[in-house]
């Protein structure tokens, strides 16, 4: 049976999460950025990357696995390239700062490519590419994660969910945004299903025997999208955001839960392109807006009421949540409003264990 939902405004949810992260030990400006990011996810219906993550972050911060006063350093390696050394800060903050360097270079030289080295979990990639699109830039972001997906034809997890996000500006209020895990679903979706006691489709994951499961509590491996195609994409992401930055790859990427007193050393890569270096910017945006209109005019298939452009459903959910409030499971709300920093349930846990 699904847990009761509590509806909160953007500000209410942001304040609760920020307060909890501050109580865990995060600096105020860092807590603000993380809370802003998590509200972005929850308000767009991507609850796997929203408030469900706060307790995990709080426990890692409290136990020293997140550098709360990091020594950030940007190493410019070329006219359009650089590495942002994150000192195992919380990933949302490190990635946001690294993105600014990529934006500046893309505006100056036409392209900005910045890797983020040695960071913690960075949340929802569409948050970053959305910001880049608002600067009239085309953006691609990739990020490695710890091994949770079985390779095509295999039975043991090797790569992570290794997400990819893309955005492009239009003449509309919102850009085109595409954000996906290279698994059928992100691990956070499993966590969200667990928190709500919901079943999952049998195409998402496998149990300890490698068999499809609908029980989120029995998941022991995630499946790549479209078999060998998703498998290839997750390897590509791992190379671009891990090996390219001299960081661990594949099954050697640090566990999210194995030791919350140590940093994650994760990698992420931003590739930003300035359309004005390739074509007329206004024409580019107008063409993409026309693309959206023509997609909307495309005859919908049976069972669909309309063809939507990538990211549009998230924006529709966001608009709805502005009116109704953001739905949060009662258990998460109880935690956020409590005096407890964390319940000591993540440290040393197996990646797929109950939490």
CA distance 307 to 207: 35
- Per-residue DSSP letter, 224: B
CA distance 34 to 157: 29
CA distance 31 to 102: 23
97 within some domain: yes
Q: How many Cα atoms sit within 13 Å of 236 on the Cβ side?
A: 13
51 within some domain: no
What integer pLDDT is reported at residue 210 of this predicted model?
85
300 within some domain: no
Do residues 336 and 12 touch, judged by C-beta distance below 8 A? no
Q: What is the CA radius of gyration of the chain?
A: 20
pLDDT, tens only, 166-209: 999 999 888 999 999 999 987 778 877 887 889 999 999 988 88
Do residues 67 and 263 touch, judged by C-beta distance below 8 A? yes
Percentage of residues in the chain having pLDDT higher than 90: 85
209 within some domain: yes
The more confidently predicted of residues 243 and 351 is 243
What integer pLDDT is reported at residue 250 of this predicted model?
94
Cβ-based neighbours of 13, under 8 Å, separated by 6 or more: 38, 39, 42, 51, 326, 328
What integer pLDDT is reported at residue 193 of this predicted model?
87
CA distance 137 to 145: 26
What integer pLDDT is reported at residue 176 of this predicted model?
95
Banded pLDDT at 355 (limits 50, 70, 90): low
Q: What is the pTM of this model?
A: 0.93
What integer pLDDT is reported at residue 185 of this predicted model?
84
The more confidently predicted of residues 154 and 100 is 100
- Has residue 86 got a pLDDT over 90? yes
Structurally, how many domains does the chain consist of?
1
What domain range includes position 281? 71-290+309-323
Supply the residues annotated as catalytic: 121
Banded pLDDT at 354 (limits 50, 70, 90): low
pLDDT, tens only, 34-68: 999 999 999 999 998 999 999 999 999 999 999 99
CA distance 203 to 184: 7
What integer pLDDT is reported at residue 2 of this predicted model?
59
What integer pLDDT is reported at residue 156 of this predicted model?
87
Do residues 148 and 116 touch, judged by C-beta distance below 8 A? no
For the ranges 75-84, 239-248, 257-266, which has the lowest average pLDDT?
Answer: 257-266
The 10 Å CB-count burial string (b at 16+, else e) for 326-351 is bbbbeebbebbeeeebbeeebbebeb
21 within some domain: no
Taking all residues of the chain, what is their mean pLDDT, rounded to a whole number? 94
344 within some domain: no
Average pLDDT over residues 69-97: 98
The CATH number covering residue 210 comes to 3.30.1370.60
Average pLDDT over residues 238-256: 96
47 within some domain: no
CA distance 158 to 322: 40
Beta bridge partners of residue 75, listed in sequence order = 83
337 within some domain: no
What integer pLDDT is reported at residue 172 of this predicted model?
84
pLDDT, tens only, 138-147: 999 999 999 9
Average pLDDT over residues 14-27: 98
């Amino acid at each position: 049976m699904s847990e009761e939902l509590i509806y909160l405004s953007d500000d209410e949810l942001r304040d609760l999460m920020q307060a909890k992260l501050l109580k865990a030990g995060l600096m105020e400006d860092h807590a603000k950025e993380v809370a802003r990011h998590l509200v972005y996810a929850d308000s767009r219906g991507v609850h796997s990357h929203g408030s469900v993550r706060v307790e995990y972050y709080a426990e890692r911060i409290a136990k020293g696995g997140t550098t709360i006063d990091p020594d950030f350093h940007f190493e410019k390696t070329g006219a359009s390239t650089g590495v942002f050394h994150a000192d195992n800060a919380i990933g949302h903050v490190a990635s946001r700062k690294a993105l600014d360097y990529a934006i500046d270079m893309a505006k100056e030289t036409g392209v900005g490519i910045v890797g983020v080295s040695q960071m913690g979990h960075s949340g929802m990639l569409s948050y970053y590419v959305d910001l880049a699109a608002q600067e009239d830039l085309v953006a691609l972001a990739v990020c490695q994660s710890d091994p949770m997906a079985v390779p095509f034809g295999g039975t043991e997890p090797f790569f992570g969910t290794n997400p990819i996000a893309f955005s492009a500006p239009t003449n509309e209020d919102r850009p085109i945004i595409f954000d996906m895990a290279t698994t059928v679903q992100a691990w956070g979706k499993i966590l969200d299903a667990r928190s709500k006691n919901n079943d999952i489709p049998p195409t998402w994951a496998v149990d300890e025997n490698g068999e499809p499961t609908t029980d989120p509590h029995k998941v022991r491996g995630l499946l790549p999208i479209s078999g060998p195609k998703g498998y290839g994409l997750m390897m590509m992401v791992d190379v671009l955001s891990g090996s390219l930055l001299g960081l661990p790859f594949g099954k050697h990427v640090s566990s999210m839960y194995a030791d919350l007193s140590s940093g994650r050393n994760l990698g992420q890569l931003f590739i930003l392109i300035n359309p004005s270096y390739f074509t007329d910017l206004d024409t580019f945006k107008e063409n993409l807006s026309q693309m959206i209109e023509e997609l909307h005019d495309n005859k919908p298939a049976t069972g669909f009421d309309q063809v939507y452009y990538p990211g549009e459903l998230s924006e529709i959910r966001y608009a709805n949540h502005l009116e109704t409030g953001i739905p949060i499971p009662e258990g998460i709300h109880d935690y956020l409003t409590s005096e407890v920093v964390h319940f000591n349930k993540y440290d040393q846990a197996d990646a797929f264990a109950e939490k």
